[in-house]
A and B are shown apart, each in its own frame.
Chain A
Amino acid sequence: MNQPLRAPLEIGFDYTRSLGPTLGQFMTALAGRRVLGSRGADGRVHAPPFEYDPLTSAPPAELVQVGPAGTVTTWSWVARPLAGQPLAHPFAWALIRLDGADTAMLHAVDAGSAAAMRTGMRVRVRWAEHTVGHIRDIACFEPGDAPPGAAGGPTAAAEPVTMITTPVRLAYEHTASPAETTYLHGLANGRLLGQRCLVCRKVYLPPRGACPTCGVPTTEEVALPGTGIVTTFCVVNVPFTGQQVPTPYVAAAVLIDGADIPFQHLILGCEPGEVRMGMRVTAVWRPPEQWGTTSENISHFRPTGEPDAPYERYAHHL
């Protein structure tokens, strides 16, 4: 069997999140280069603050300033930092109990080497050059005690921070299934290859590897023609980012002759208003020199001019 086709897949999304009253104050204080904790019902100070008291479930009665120095309670060493982490050179992750707090905060410590790290060591906040009201306003921690008079940063009433934005970027290697791989290699050779379920005899195009009706592997390969029937369609009038075809145009479910499941494609070569359920269409391939292992080898479908298929011919495939 062919090795499955693989391709890089990168996804990204900038998550925006509303902060609520407690984390809103916490982030607003970070923008002003101060760290806040919350005092619980038992008198213990949590930093970062809890939103609801772990004992009473009540919101914190008061937020108090902590830090900007603290003590490492545990640490681990990162020899090869990963994308997105606070430092691009080797550093330590640590839980840091800020002065005035009873719980610890997770952050990075820029210590230079693992040999410079130990539990109980003193570290202090290194602020980002620009603070905006985000946990990354703390660039990292660094070994050392708080400089004198460092407890209060500028206290100018900053605009309250109510939202944070966190960009997320992840890289994957997408793998096509064996059936998809066969299908895509077929397309690269100008062929439409489906698969038949040996139990229910249905032919799937594109092939899915397993029959969704029977739950068994679909193993029999079936070569199919480029002709078929429009089972249903819609006229696209709405523009959107990345649109390739000028509106209005028709996106249709096309039932290839010999297949049991329609697939979606474009119908061009006639006025959108002329497209009908039951219309006979044929695939329009791009020039062979442009073919690759991609569905884009078929540019679109166009009407053949043959008489429409009767409704009964495709009623089971809607």
Chain B
Amino acid sequence: MTDVAVIGFAQSPCVRRSDSTTSGVEMLVPIFQHVLASTGLAKEDIGFWCSGSSDYLAGRAFSFVQAVDAIGAFPPVMESHVEMDGAWALYEAWLKVLTGEAQIALAYGFGKSSAGDLRRVLALQLDPYLHAPLWPDSVSIAALQARLGIEAGIWSEKEMAEVAARSRAAALTNPQAQVSGAVTVADLLTAPYVAEPLRAHDCAPVGDGAAVAILAAGDLARELCPRPAWITGFEHRIDSASLGARDLATAPSATAAGRAAGAAGVEVAELHAPFTHQEILLRDALGLEESVRLNPSGGALCGNPMFAAGLARIGMAAGEIISGRASRVLGHATSGPALQQNLICVMEARP
């Protein structure tokens, strides 16, 4: 089977409100230029392009088509799109390289959450018969999950605040982060609830951004990157869309994806946990040991551009290998309410 590696990654700054259009072109052009320059590639070298974005987020139909302007897609390019986080676009790109249809593929994700009311927009990803007509907002649904875990003794508000404090401290060294800083758990716990039992620090900030990653096959990856992040497992699984029919304090789909992808033994995990309790839930679901470095970027709690933040987790994890800081890492992405869908990409360095 073809060996495929992540050889490059770039991310726009995560900001509360970008001047970009909802087609993302203004956020994408600089990071395309950056990632191509960092790998020594030209756009003509890319054999397959795949994007992840959402029309509901943009408030317009086929919004991803305009984003193709950022590519410079003439003469025509081989291109595809998923109405999902860019991590799933990376999965499609990985398949293209695996099957030999492309030697080099580029996946990108972008989202301008600030254009609309994100908590309402996300109601439209829910079951359209029983859930969406009630307009349950994303923060409230996460709060239902958080309370289940608190009352079952799986996590506590203090442990959730510890996740927030550690993430913000880690983000101090991430120039693209939207939120960072030195905070104490005691201070965080004095804040009011935004959706009891969630406080503001428990929720990822709403913001705009984009991310891009490049994959290459075999010898080409070795030529283009001194230390490629070789993909050894790439899996995604899904749980029921019915919020009341599954145990929200667990994520069987994350466990299944992690097992299939070979998550055991990683040194670093970048987890796409938009809420503090979800990091704890995922750590348990994936069986990550205490020694695993979690979210050295600060994670989604410090910058969660919709449809880009999952891809950014994989890119950040790959960066740990490319930079030589780790030898085996995991990037995770989620989609849907309360960790309904989970994707795991395990990468390693090779001599």
Please give the residue numbers on chain A whose beta carbons come within 8 Å of chain B beta carbons, in ascending order: 3-4, 9, 11, 15, 17, 19, 23, 46, 48, 50, 54, 73-79, 82-86, 93-97, 103-108, 114, 119, 134-136, 164, 166, 168, 170-178, 180, 208-217
Contacts and interface: CB of A to CB of B under 8 A. Distances in A.
A215 B70 contact: yes
7 pairs of A and B residues whose beta carbons are closest in the complex: A215-B72, A76-B143, A104-B244, A84-B135, A172-B59, A213-B74, A77-B196
23 contacts: A4-B19, A48-B244, A54-B240, A74-B248, A76-B141, A76-B198, A82-B120, A85-B134, A85-B135, A93-B141, A103-B242, A106-B131, A119-B151, A135-B134, A164-B133, A170-B56, A173-B116, A175-B20, A178-B19, A178-B26, A209-B26, A212-B73, A215-B43
B264 interface: no
Interface string B97-136: 0000000000000001011110111011000111111111
Given A17-B128, A175-B21, A136 B26 contact: no
A210 B60 CA distance: 20
B189 interface: no
B148 A15 contact: no
A50 B147 contact: no
Given A174-B59, A210-B69, A83 B120 contact: yes
Nearest to A48: B130
B68 interface: yes
Interface string B296-334: 000000000000000000000000000000000000000
Contact of A176 (B21, B193, B244): B21
A215 B77 CA distance: 12
Nearest to A15: B128
B124 A215 contact: no
B25 A210 contact: yes
Contacts of B169: none
Contact of B140 (A93, A208, A210, A212): A93
B320 to A, nearest CB: 29
Contacts of B196: 76-77, 114
Most buried by B among A17, A46, A95: A95
A170 B121 CA distance: 7
Contact of A105 (B26, B140, B197, B244): B244
B133 A135 contact: yes
B144 interface: yes
Nearest to B68: A212
Contacts of B71: 212, 215
A9 B21 contact: no
Interface in B196-240: 196-198, 240
A23 B56 CA distance: 25
Given A135-B130, A171-B116, A215-B43, A48 B242 contact: yes
